[in-house]
Structure 1
C-alpha cells in the first residue's frame, strides 16, 4: 500500500508541475493561475486523503500481520526512507507541496511510527504474557515432578535403609558363624594333631613293647642256655666230652640253616625288594595300578614282620661265616627301603634305631660254639663288623643303613665321611648306582643341619666326577623329587656360599641333559638361577661360572657371556 501511495503521489506531483509549466508558457491570466493553484490544492488534498487512507490501510495491515512484523519493519523502514528521500527531493526540486501539507504529512508519519511502536509493544506484552503463562505452567509441572521425585527418593531411601539394616544383620550373623567355624576348625585341627601324636606314641610304645618282649624272651633263652652250660661244666669230664660231641654234631646243622636263610634273603633282595626304584618313579606319576599297590602293601607288611626277627638274629652273626653277613645286611637294607614312606616307618622307629646302632657299632659276643673237638673248653670272643668292615660292599651297605635309621649327628657324620671315601673309587660309584642311593642322600638335603647338608652334597659331588657312572647318576637324579629338593634349598634365604656352589655344580651337570629343561621350568629353578646370577658378587668367580653355564645349557644366556667349562669340584 505504501508503494501505491508513492506512485499516486508522484503522479500528482507530475501533473502539478506540467500545469505550472503550461501556465507560464501560455501566459495565462491570473485567474486561470489561481484556478490552477486551486486545482493543485484540490489534488494535494486528494493525495493527502489517499495517503491517510493508505496509512490507515497500512496500519490495519500491520496490526493484522503481527507474525511477520519484525521482517516487514526493515522493509517498511527502507520504503519510508525512500519515500522521504523522494518527497524531499521532489519538494526541494520543484517546491510545489505547500508547507502545511508537508507538516501534516510529517505529523501523520510521526503518529504512524508511534502507532507501530505501540503495536510492537502490545505484541511484546502479549508474547511476555504467553511466556509468563508458559513459565508458570512449567514451574507448576516442575514443582509437581519435584514433589513426586522427592517422594520416590524418600521411599527408596527408606527401602535402602531397611535393606542396609538387613545386610548388616546378615553380615553380623555371617561373621559370628565364621568365627565359630574358624574356632571349630582350629579345635578340630588341634584334636587331629593331638590324635596323630597319640597314635604315633601308641605305635612307638607298642613297637617298643614288642621289642622288649622279644628281648626278654631272648634273654630268657640265653639265661637258660647259660644255666645249662654251667650244669654241663659241673658234670664229670666224660659226660662233658659226650656233650661236646653232641654240640659238634649240631653246629654244622645250624650253619647249614644260616646258609639256606642267607641264600633266600639274597634271592628275595635281588628279585623283589630291590624294585623300589621303579615303584618310586611310578609313584611320582600317580598312575600305580591297584594290583601294584596291593603288592607293595603286602611286601611292606612282610618286611615289618621280618625286620624285628632279623634284628634279633644279628647277635648270631659272629658265629657264622663272614661270607653270610652280606646277604643279611642286603636284606635289611632293601627291607628298610621298602618302608621309606608311609606310617610303617614310624611304627618301626625303635626297630630301625636298634638296627642302625648295631650295624654301626658291630656285634660282639662270647659263645661256646666249637668247630672242632680238639678245643672243647676254649671260650672265644667273636665279633661281626659291619660299618667298620674291610669288605667294601658290606661296609657300603652298612653305611646306607646307618644313614637311613640313625638320628645321632656324630654317627651320621662318620657315615658320610665313610661314604665320601668309598665314592672316590670306581667300585664305590658302582655300588652307589646299584643300591640306588640318591633317595637316601635326598633325605639329608635339609637346611636344618648345615653340617650334614654339606656332607650329603659332598657325596653327590663325588658322583659328578667324570667316570662311567656319571651319566647313570645324572639320569637317577633327573626326577621330580630331586629337583623339588633343590628348589627348596635355593629358596632358602642367606644360603651358605659353599653349599650354594656345590648345589650349582650338580645342577650344571643336570642342565646338560636337554630333557631336564622342563624340570627346571616346572620348579622355577631357571628363574632362581637368573636371580642368583644377577645378585652374585663378581668376586665369587666359581659360582658365577656355574650359574652362567646352567643358563647357557638351558638356552637362557649368550655364549659369549660364558667362560670355559667350569670345574666340577670346589
Structure 2
C-alpha cells in the first residue's frame, strides 16, 4: 500500500515538474506567473517530503523502483535548468517588448511631425507655383528685351565691322605710305649726301685743276716739249706731296690736341653745369667733322701717291672725327659716306693713274696701292681696324676686324694703342646679345687687355664708368647667354671688383644681386665660372652675408 502511494506521488511530481518547465512567456499576464511560482514552491515541499520518505523507505523500495526514481530525479534537475533558462529568455523578451513599445511611441511622434511637414510642403508647393509663374512671366519679358538688344548689337557689330575694315585698309595704306616715305627720305638723304660729296669733289678738282694750269703757265719756257714734260713732272708731284705733308701734320695736330681731348673730357666729366657749357663747343665740333669727313673720304683715293708715312695722321684724323659723331642721327646722315669710308679702308686703295701724271705714265700702266687694314705697320693697321669697327655693318668684315684686333692686342704696343685711342666705347657698341657671333670676339679683345701688364690698371680705370657697367648688366640679365660668354664676362667683372670705388657701380646697376643669383643657380660643374663669381662676391664683401643667410636658411 505504501509503495502505491509513493508511485502516485512521484507521478504527480513528475507531471508538475513538466508543467513548470513550460516557458514563462506564454502566460497572458503576471498573475499566472505568480501562480506558477506558488505551484513550484509546493512541488519543492512535496519533493522534500518524498525524499525524506524515500530515505526512510529506501530499505523497503525495490532496486528497479529506486533506479526509476533516480532517473526521474535527473530529469527533474534538467527540467529545472531549462526552466531557469526559459525565465531568463522571458526577461529578455520582456525588455525587448519595452524597447519596441518606446520605438512605437517614437514612431507615432514622427508620424505626427511628418503630417505637419506634409501640410507645410503643400503650402510651399502652392507658393512655389505662384513664384514660378511670376518668374516665367519675368523671363518672357527679359527674353523679349534681350532679343531687341541682340538685334541692336548685331546692327552695331555689322557697322563696326565695316568701320574696322575701312580702318584696316586705311591703316595699311598709311603704313605703305609711311614705308614709301621712309624709303624716299632715305634715298633723298643718300642722294643729298652723294650730291654734296660730288660737289665737294668737283670743287676740289676744279681748284686743283686751276692750280695746275697756273703752275703750267708760270713755269712754261721756250724749250723742247720733252723737257717741258719732264719739268712738269718734277714740279707738280713735289708740290702735291708737300701739300699733303702740311695737311697730315695739321690733321695729326688737331687729332692729338683737340679731338682726342674732347672725348677724354666727355668720359671723365661728372659736373652737369660743365656739360651744359661744353654742349655748344661739341655741336660746333660735330658740324665741322660732318663737313670734313666726306672730303677726307675722297682724299683716300690719293693716298697711293703719297708717302706711306703720312697715312697714319689721315686715318687718325678720320677716326677721331668719327668718334665725335657717335649718335645714331649723325651716322644716318652720313650713312653712305661711312659705308664707303669703311669699305675703302678695309679693302685698301689701288690706283693706276696719278692725277698729276702724264699720258705716258698712264700708258705704262704702273699701279700703286695703299693698304690700311692689311698694312704691316701696326699703328696704321690698328687705327684702320677701329675705323672698320665704327663704320662697317657686314658681319664678315667685322669678324676679320676683331681677329686682327685680338692679334694686335697680344703685344704691348697694341695695348698701349688701345688705351691711347680710347677703344673701350668702340668695343662696347658690339657687346649686344643680338649679335652673338661678334659678342664672343669682342669679349676676347677685352680679355686680352686683362692680361698682367702695365696697361691693366689704366684699362680697368677706362672700364670703370656707367656705360660699361650698364652694358654688362644688360648682358647678365639676358636668359639666352651662353656659359662661355658668362665666363668671359665674369673675368672682366672680377678684375673690376678689385677696385673699391666700383662697388657703387655694382650697386647702381644691381649687378651684385644678379651675380648672387647666378652664384646660387650656376651648375657646380662649371668650376671656372663659380670661382669667378665667388671672387666677385668676396671682393664686394657679399660672400660672408651670403654664406650666413644660406646657413640660416638651411638651419631653419
What TM-score do the two structures reach when normalised by structure 1?
Answer: 0.59
1:224 and 1:410 mapped to 2: Cα distance? 43
**Are 2:353 and 2:362, in contact at CA under 8 Å, matched by a contact in 1?**
no
Change (3 A) 1:560 1:496: closer
TM-superposition CA deviations, 1:150-169 (whole Å, max 9, x none): xxxxxxxxxxxxxxxxxxxx
* Aligned counterpart in structure 1 of residue 194 of structure 2, from 187, 193, 208: 208
TM-superposition CA deviations, 1:253-276 (whole Å, max 9, x none): 111111111110010001111124
1:71-150 equivalences in 2 (<5 Å)? none
In the alignment, structure 2 segments of 5+ residues that lack a partner are 1-166, 212-222, 548-556
What's 1:473 paired with?
459
Change (3 A) 1:430 1:323: same
**Are 1:356 and 1:406, in contact at CA under 8 Å, matched by a contact in 2?**
yes
2:235 and 2:194 mapped to 1: Cα distance? 37
Change (3 A) 1:468 1:253: same
* Aligned counterpart in structure 1 of residue 312 of structure 2, from 296, 302, 326: 326
Matched, 1:505 2:491: yes
TM-superposition CA deviations, 1:274-313 (whole Å, max 9, x none): 1243343256764444441111111111111111111111
* Aligned counterpart in structure 2 of residue 336 of structure 1, from 297, 322, 330: 322
Superposed CA RMSD in Å reads 3.5
Matched, 1:435 2:458: no
1:219-230 equivalences in 2 (<5 Å)? none
**Are 1:368 and 1:379, in contact at CA under 8 Å, matched by a contact in 2?**
no
TM-superposition CA deviations, 1:68-98 (whole Å, max 9, x none): xxxxxxxxxxxxxxxxxxxxxxxxxxxxxxx
TM-superposition CA deviations, 1:377-397 (whole Å, max 9, x none): 754210001001101000000
* Aligned counterpart in structure 2 of residue 464 of structure 1, from 437, 450, 455: 450
2:469 and 2:443 mapped to 1: Cα distance? 14
What's 2:110 paired with?
none
TM-superposition CA deviations, 1:178-235 (whole Å, max 9, x none): xxxxx9xx99x999x978887665434421332355567789999999xxxxxxxxxx
1:449 to partner: Cα distance:
1.1
**Are 1:520 and 1:526, in contact at CA under 8 Å, matched by a contact in 2?**
yes
What's 2:543 paired with?
557
Between 287-296 and 337-346, the greater mean CA deviation after superposition: 287-296
Secondary structure at 1:462's aligned position in 2? helix
1:247-286 equivalences in 2 (<5 Å)? 247-281=233-267, 286=272
Secondary structure at 1:367's aligned position in 2? coil
Matched, 1:485 2:471: yes
1:245 and 1:343 mapped to 2: Cα distance? 49
1:418 and 1:524 mapped to 2: Cα distance? 34
In the alignment, structure 1 segments of 5+ residues that lack a partner are 1-182, 226-236, 562-570
* Aligned counterpart in structure 2 of residue 495 of structure 1, from 454, 460, 481: 481
**Are 1:403 and 1:440, in contact at CA under 8 Å, matched by a contact in 2?**
yes
* Aligned counterpart in structure 2 of residue 447 of structure 1, from 425, 429, 433: 433
1:242 to partner: Cα distance:
1.6
**Are 2:352 and 2:367, in contact at CA under 8 Å, matched by a contact in 1?**
yes
**Are 2:494 and 2:533, in contact at CA under 8 Å, matched by a contact in 1?**
yes
What's 1:353 paired with?
339
**Are 2:347 and 2:373, in contact at CA under 8 Å, matched by a contact in 1?**
yes
1:560 and 1:551 mapped to 2: Cα distance? 9
Matched, 1:524 2:510: yes
1:325 and 1:319 mapped to 2: Cα distance? 11
**Are 2:415 and 2:455, in contact at CA under 8 Å, matched by a contact in 1?**
yes
**Are 1:282 and 1:288, in contact at CA under 8 Å, matched by a contact in 2?**
no
Change (3 A) 1:287 1:458: farther
2:257 and 2:520 mapped to 1: Cα distance? 50
1:276 and 1:498 mapped to 2: Cα distance? 36
Change (3 A) 1:547 1:289: closer
Matched, 1:308 2:294: yes
* Aligned counterpart in structure 2 of residue 390 of structure 1, from 373, 376, 379: 376
1:505 to partner: Cα distance:
0.5
**Are 1:284 and 1:480, in contact at CA under 8 Å, matched by a contact in 2?**
no
**Are 2:201 and 2:295, in contact at CA under 8 Å, matched by a contact in 1?**
no
Secondary structure at 2:367's aligned position in 1? strand
Q: How many residues align?
A: 364
1:473 and 1:197 mapped to 2: Cα distance? 42
1:486 and 1:376 mapped to 2: Cα distance? 55
1:424 to partner: Cα distance:
0.5
What's 2:149 paired with?
none
**Are 2:263 and 2:324, in contact at CA under 8 Å, matched by a contact in 1?**
no
1:560 and 1:530 mapped to 2: Cα distance? 8
Matched, 1:415 2:401: yes
2:227 and 2:362 mapped to 1: Cα distance? 8
Change (3 A) 1:221 1:273: closer
Q: Based on CA coordinates, which of the two structures has the bigger radius of gyration?
A: 1
**Are 1:368 and 1:378, in contact at CA under 8 Å, matched by a contact in 2?**
no
**Are 1:276 and 1:337, in contact at CA under 8 Å, matched by a contact in 2?**
no
